[in-house]
């Protein structure tokens, strides 16, 4: 990344996040008083001791909220500060302001919450037994599974557990707010969704949205954790500024962030799979018990992606899948890279593994036999186009010399007593679009200045994934000017309104297309002026690398000269572009439609070793074949795949998110929660891209890259499981993410896991 300026700033530690920014004069520091148990009724909030600590201390509670004390929009179940009841361990109950951060945090500890403890539920299946759901269940089905199972040679049932995952973004949740002239509220927020934060602040303060400006600068990571949940901390900072009449900064430390914020949804699932004698899958059923946590948050959209990816990369004629959003007394689980799809992929791959164990048919044969093909329709009625599942899978088999590799592993395991090897493949078919259809839109504002430089504003948030670079590349290619002429501005609700979060792998797709549309409008105007200056039709004018061409012949007219002439002629050099993904539709009642603009395909093979004496394992290699379309930046895309793989492997094998039965977080520090590091990653990583393919819904036939590769980490789970089986063929198979060394030891000992 040495040729990317913003990456150089990161490497040198010079990137400014919210806590690095200069503070306005008189800025107060904020801290939050978090609840000390998972569920209780508020009797009184006593502030005397906190207020006595220092004259600068102010304590704000729910009764002080001037507008609607509610920031939940999918369902009004999330008060900014609870007035009657707290619902999870670590819920903000009071906001404390003081002259400095140390005083604010000390005062927050002195706020006393008098309450009555209430029953605590942490298990989604227990919540389901109590019929305690966030929203009604959702079922998608096709064919007749009950009848199909009667005609199957193999019918296998099983249970699958997948744990949560902490985001561990570099920059914790934070915001800085101030009330400006005329009562306007300005907030800098570490958020993926400025318009959502703007709406939450406006509602809680009782203001129209045009009185609230939210700015999002470059974030220090997010991974979904700042899509919906940033609204809480930005709204609290704005509330503090509104009441105190002074600027306020709220910035969580790592312990507070890990304790108070949501994570990837844990799931507990049941499956039933049926197949013919040759391994053709004829029927599949699954029930997904999503641990939604205490409030709605984004659980409905996440569950939607789960049930829309239930069969993974496979065509299955008879399907019935049901998802339940189970309310528990844990922090509200939220968006995380993959957004419900990894949980679905793990269930179908576990079902195929169980089928292989029962039938004796190798997993890879079952996988290959059932992959989607061109013209297939999904179980929710979407016709599949430009299908590359077999192309990716077959290339991976060839690339890894799979059958020879399996023979080598078998020979190694035969000779080695204490170290065993295993390998596994996972194919991926990942739908790209927001599952909530109205969110598939974006706007952009492009200015060309009289010196020829270009400024671009979109709703896309830069958080390390280089979406700004990709948008700049789109603008460069569209206008035909060098990349160094273009600057992508930080996102603010003043320049682009009603933005959707930068999420669902759509940041470059939606915002890039909106920017391209704006550029094409400007280019059309400029082509007319260039044609006039060159005595040619605008249709034969072309822009390339800062020069103007006529009939493919380079002219003396440069981009900068043309801009000067256009400005003198009073031609508008600004344009707003708007893009809405075409042809999307979905009937929620019938559960049929086309919810995705396209799919991303790929396949990965992981080889792993297990030391059966020490109970440790090592990831030896990973080979990936990935469908990237026409890459806007190959180095960025490669980095995204490597990062997604790391998170997928971490979720599958390492990251053990724990809560006690009383709801208390047990893994709320980086000493009790392990994340992948360089030594954890496979020693060799080989990534190959499939040839380019048409993809009209995106800029220049590119394809989304952020989320699909995370699923590749699941292959690591099955590679380890296969190595464990080589060590103890009689071990009882389990499907439980993460596959920690403790679980591996249990398998080796023949214990129930």
| C-beta of residue 219 within 8 angstroms of C-beta of residue 226 | yes
**Measuring CA to CA, how many Å separate 168 from each of 34, 674, 705?**
20, 10, 20
| C-beta of residue 107 within 8 angstroms of C-beta of residue 47 | no
Query: Phi/psi at 225 (nearest 5 deg)?
Result: -70, -15
Instruction: Identify which of 457, 469, 566, 562 has the alpha carbon closest to the alpha carbon of residue 515.
Output: 457
Residue that the structure tokens 């971490």 belong to: 650
Residue that the structure tokens 């998110």 belong to: 657
Euclidean distance between CA atoms 102 and 251, whole angstroms: 12
Q: Which of 213, 591, 707, 742 is flagged as catalytic? A: 707
Euclidean distance between CA atoms 458 and 442, whole angstroms: 8
At a CB cut-off of 8 Å and minimum separation 6, what does 596 contact?
A: 308, 382, 431, 432, 433, 584
Residue 624: strand pairing partners = 604, 687
Query: Phi/psi at 177 (nearest 5 deg)?
Result: -130, 150
- CA torsion through residues 670, 674, 678, 679, sign: positive
**Encoding tokens for residue 197?**
């934060």
Instruction: Identify which of 471, 485, 483 has the alpha carbon closest to the alpha carbon of residue 443.
Output: 471
- Please list, residue by residue across 444-463, b when 16 or more beta carbons sit within 10 angstroms of its beta carbon and e when fewer do: bbbbbeeebebbbbbbbbbb
β 318-327/138-142 pair status: antiparallel
Instruction: Identify which of 522, 501, 414, 423 has the alpha carbon closest to the alpha carbon of residue 459.
Output: 501
Burial class (CB in 10 A: 0-12, 13-18, 19+), 85: middle
Q: How many helices (H) and strands (E) does the chain have?
A: 19, 30
**Encoding tokens for residue 138?**
């959702």
**Measuring CA to CA, how many Å separate 669 from each of 19, 234, 258, 555, 658?**
20, 23, 7, 63, 11
| C-beta of residue 99 within 8 angstroms of C-beta of residue 28 | yes
- CA torsion through residues 568, 570, 576, 582, sign: negative
Helix (H) / strand (E) element for 115: namely: strand 112-117
Residue 616: strand pairing partners = 611
- For residue 738, whether the previous peptide bond is cis, meaning omega lies within 30 degrees of 0, is yes
Active site residue 544: no
Euclidean distance between CA atoms 127 and 122, whole angstroms: 8
Instruction: Identify which of 753, 722, 595, 662 has the alpha carbon closest to the alpha carbon of residue 38.
Output: 662
Residue 446: strand pairing partners = 456, 575
- Please list, residue by residue across 222-245, b when 16 or more beta carbons sit within 10 angstroms of its beta carbon and e when fewer do: bbbbbbbbbbbbbbbbbbbbbbbe
Residue that the structure tokens 């927001």 belong to: 434
Euclidean distance between CA atoms 547 and 637, whole angstroms: 29
| C-beta of residue 748 within 8 angstroms of C-beta of residue 724 | yes
| C-beta of residue 173 within 8 angstroms of C-beta of residue 19 | no
Query: What is the length of the chain?
Result: 753
Residue that the structure tokens 């002439």 belong to: 565
β 212-216/184-189 pair status: parallel
Residue 309: DSSP 8-state:
T
**Encoding tokens for residue 243?**
């009441």
**Active-site annotation, residues:** 707
């Amino acid at each position: 990344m040495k040729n990317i300026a913003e990456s150089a700033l990161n490497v040198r530690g010079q990137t400014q996040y919210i806590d690095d920014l200069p503070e306005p004069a008189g800025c107060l520091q904020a801290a939050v008083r978090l609840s000390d148990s998972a569920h209780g009724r508020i009797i009184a909030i006593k502030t005397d001791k906190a207020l006595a600590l220092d004259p600068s201390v102010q304590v704000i509670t729910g009764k002080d909220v001037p507008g609607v004390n509610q920031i939940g929009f999918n369902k009004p179940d999330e008060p900014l500060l609870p007035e009657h009841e707290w619902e999870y361990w670590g819920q903000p109950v009071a906001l404390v302001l003081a002259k400095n951060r140390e005083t604010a945090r000390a005062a927050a500890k002195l706020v006393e919450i008098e309450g009555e403890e209430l029953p605590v539920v942490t298990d989604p299946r227990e919540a389901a037994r109590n019929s305690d759901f966030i929203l009604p269940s959702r079922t998608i089905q096709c064919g007749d599974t009950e009848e199909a199972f009667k005609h199957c040679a193999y019918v296998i049932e099983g249970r699958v557990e997948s744990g949560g995952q902490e985001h561990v973004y570099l920059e914790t949740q934070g915001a800085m707010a101030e009330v400006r002239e005329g009562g306007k509220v300005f907030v800098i927020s570490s958020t993926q969704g400025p318009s959502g934060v703007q709406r939450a602040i406006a509602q809680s303060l009782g203001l129209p949205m045009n009185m609230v400006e939210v700015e999002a600068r470059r974030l220090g990571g997010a991974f979904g954790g700042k899509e919906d949940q940033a609204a809480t901390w930005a709204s609290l900072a704005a509330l503090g500024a509104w009441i105190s009449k002074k600027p306020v900064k709220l910035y969580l430390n790592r312990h507070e962030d890990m304790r108070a914020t949501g994570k990837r949804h844990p799931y507990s699932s049941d499956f039933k799979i049926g197949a013919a004698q040759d391994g053709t899958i004829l029927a599949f059923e699954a029930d997904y018990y999503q641990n939604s946590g205490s409030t709605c948050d984004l659980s409905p959209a996440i569950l939607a992606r789960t049930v829309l990816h239930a069969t993974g990369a496979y065509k299955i004629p008879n399907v019935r899948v049901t998802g339940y959003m189970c309310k528990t007394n844990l922090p509200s689980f939220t968006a995380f890279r993959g957004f419900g799809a990894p949980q679905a992929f793990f269930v179908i791959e576990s079902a195929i593994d169980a089928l292989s164990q029962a039938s004796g048919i190798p997993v890879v044969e079952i996988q290959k036999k059932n992959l989607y093909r061109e013209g297939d329709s999904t179980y929710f009625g979407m016709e599949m186009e430009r299908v590359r599942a077999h192309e990716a899978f077959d290339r991976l088999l060839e690339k890894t010399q799979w059958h020879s590799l399996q023979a080598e592993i078998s020979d190694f395991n035969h000779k080695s007593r204490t170290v065993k090897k295993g390998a596994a493949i996972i194919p991926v078919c990942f739908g790209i679009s927001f599952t909530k259809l109205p969110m598939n839109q974006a706007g952009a504002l492009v200015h060309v200045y009289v010196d020829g430089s270009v400024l671009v504003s979109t709703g896309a948030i830069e958080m390390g994934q280089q979406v700004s670079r990709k948008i700049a590349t789109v603008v460069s290619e569209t206008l035909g000017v060098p990349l160094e002429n273009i600057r992508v501005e930080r996102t603010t609700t003043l320049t682009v309104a009603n933005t959707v979060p930068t999420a669902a792998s759509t940041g470059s797709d939606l915002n890039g297309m909106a920017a391209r549309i704006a550029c094409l409008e400007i280019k059309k105007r400029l082509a007319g002026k260039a044609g006039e200056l060159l005595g040619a039709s605008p249709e034969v004018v072309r822009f390339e690398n800062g020069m103007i061409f006529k009939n493919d012949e380079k002219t003396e007219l440069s981009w900068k000269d043309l801009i000067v002439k256009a400005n003198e002629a009073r031609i508008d050099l600004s344009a707003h572009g708007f893009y809405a993904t075409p042809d999307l539709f979905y009937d929620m009642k019938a559960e049929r439609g086309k919810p995705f603009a396209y799919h991303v395909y790929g396949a990965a093979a992981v080889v792993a070793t297990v030391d059966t004496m020490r109970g440790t394992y090592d990831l030896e290699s990973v080979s990936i074949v990935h469908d990237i379309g026409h890459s806007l930046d190959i180095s960025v895309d490669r980095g995204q795949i490597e990062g997604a793989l790391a998170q997928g492997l971490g979720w599958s094998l390492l990251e053990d998110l724990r809560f006690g039965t009383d709801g208390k977080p047990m893994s709320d520090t980086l000493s009790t929660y392990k994340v992948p590091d360089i030594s954890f990653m496979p020693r060799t990583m080989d990534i190959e891209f499939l040839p380019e393919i048409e993809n009209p819904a995106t800029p220049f036939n590119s394809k989304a890259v952020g989320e699909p590769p995370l699923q590749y980490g699941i292959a690591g789970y099955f590679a380890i499981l296969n190595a464990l089986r080589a060590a103890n063929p009689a071990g009882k198979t389990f499907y439980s993410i993460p596959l920690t060394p403790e679980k591996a030891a249990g398998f080796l000992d023949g214990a129930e896991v």
